[in-house]
């Protein structure tokens, strides 16, 4: 079994050997095994072309868990469910929403460590063949999920730098032939790792995260029918400065038919949105 969000390995491919073996038996061997004239090298498919799932479109968050810490700004001292250490507690106890808003830091609760946790709508689209773009209406933020080789030098930012890869499961039918388009399959998940973050807030009552924070995400598409689709994002936040263990949470988004309910709003430290 392959590793999860912390792995830097490539495609999942648990069932690939089965597929290859069965295809060989059926005479459908992959091109290297066939006796044929060498063909011009085809360019490798782009991450967009390889995508085993399609997360693009409009999504709305379902706040069915952790409601009282997400839909409203919780009161001072309400730190339950976040494994914060004493240093973080002291920081939060001394924190002031008014002061940070006045200092132009109202978006610090919209950083990549918690952005997918907020009540909001997402618009997900391909910015180019290598980059998946995620816009939020709440706080008007944009995350860029980069496939391929990361750029050599990154500077810290609110959304940090997100490296993405597909976890693709090659599933075969009874005869060993691949199921899905392009000899691949429609099954798989998106694995994202984010770092180079500016310090921010895990909760709008002052619970902080530090500059060394990293975020691991597993994006799964759940489909029951064309009108019943959900995107779940399992998020693991690791912060040696303010957390005594990883903060792990699951966010749920429901697919929307269009962007008619898209409602952009500015960052706020005094409301849930």
Site for other proteins in 212-231 (CB under 8 A): 218, 220, 222, 224, 228, 230
Cα 138 versus chain centre, distance: 17
Burial of 18 (0-12, 13-18, 19+ CB in 10 A): middle
- Backbone φ, ψ for residue 214 (5° rounding): -125, 150
Query: Is residue 211 part of the contact set for other proteins (CB under 8 A)?
Result: no
Residue number, 137 or 195, with CB nearest to other proteins = 137
Query: Which positions from 29 to 58 touch other proteins by CB under 8 A, shown as an x/- string?
Result: -----------------------x------
3-state secondary structure of 257: coil
Residue number, 132 or 190, with CB nearest to other proteins = 190
Query: Is residue 122 part of the contact set for other proteins (CB under 8 A)?
Result: no
- Among positions 20, 23, 51, 82, the unique one binding other proteins when judged by CB under 8 A: 82
Query: Which positions from 167 to 186 touch other proteins by CB under 8 A, shown as an x/- string?
Result: x-x-xxxxx-x-x-----xx
Query: Is residue 139 part of the contact set for other proteins (CB under 8 A)?
Result: no
Query: Is residue 61 part of the contact set for other proteins (CB under 8 A)?
Result: yes
Query: Which residues neighbour 158 within 8 Å (Cβ) at sequence distance 6 or greater?
Result: 107, 108, 110, 111, 112, 141, 197, 198, 200
Burial of 43 (0-12, 13-18, 19+ CB in 10 A): exposed
Query: Is residue 165 part of the contact set for other proteins (CB under 8 A)?
Result: no
Per CB under 8 A, the segment of 27-35, 99-107, 119-127, 153-161 that binds other proteins is 119-127
Query: Which residues neighbour 26 within 8 Å (Cβ) at sequence distance 6 or greater?
Result: 175, 176, 177
């Amino acid at each position: 079994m392959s590793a999860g969000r912390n792995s830097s390995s490539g495609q999942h491919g648990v069932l690939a050997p089965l597929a290859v073996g069965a295809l060989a038996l059926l005479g459908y061997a992959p091109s290297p095994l066939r006796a044929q004239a060498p063909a011009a090298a085809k360019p490798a498919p782009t991450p967009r072309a390889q995508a085993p799932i399609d997360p693009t479109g409009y999504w709305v968050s379902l706040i069915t868990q952790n409601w009282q810490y997400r839909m409203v700004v919780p009161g001072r001292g309400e730190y339950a469910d976040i494994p914060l250490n004493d240093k973080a507690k002291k920081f939060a106890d001394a924190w002031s929403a008014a002061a940070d808003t006045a200092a132009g830091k109202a978006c610090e609760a919209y950083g990549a460590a918690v952005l997918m946790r907020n009540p909001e709508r997402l618009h997900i689209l391909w910015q180019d063949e290598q980059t998946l773009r995620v816009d939020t209406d709440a706080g008007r933020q944009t995350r860029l999920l980069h496939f391929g080789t990361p750029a050599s030098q990154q500077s810290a930012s609110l959304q940090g730098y997100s490296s993405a890869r597909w976890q693709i499961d090659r599933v075969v039918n009874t005869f060993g032939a691949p199921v899905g388009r392009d000899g691949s399959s429609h099954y798989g998940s998106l694995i994202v790792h984010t770092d180079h973050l500016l310090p921010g807030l895990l909760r709008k009552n002052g619970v902080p995260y530090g500059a060394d924070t990293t975020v691991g995400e597993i994006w799964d598409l759940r489909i029951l029918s064309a009108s019943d689709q959900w995107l779940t994002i399992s998020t693991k936040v690791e912060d040696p400065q303010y957390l005594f263990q990883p903060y792990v949470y699951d966010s749920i988004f429901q697919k929307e038919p269009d962007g008619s309910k898209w409602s952009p709003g500015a960052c706020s430290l005094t409301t849930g949105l």
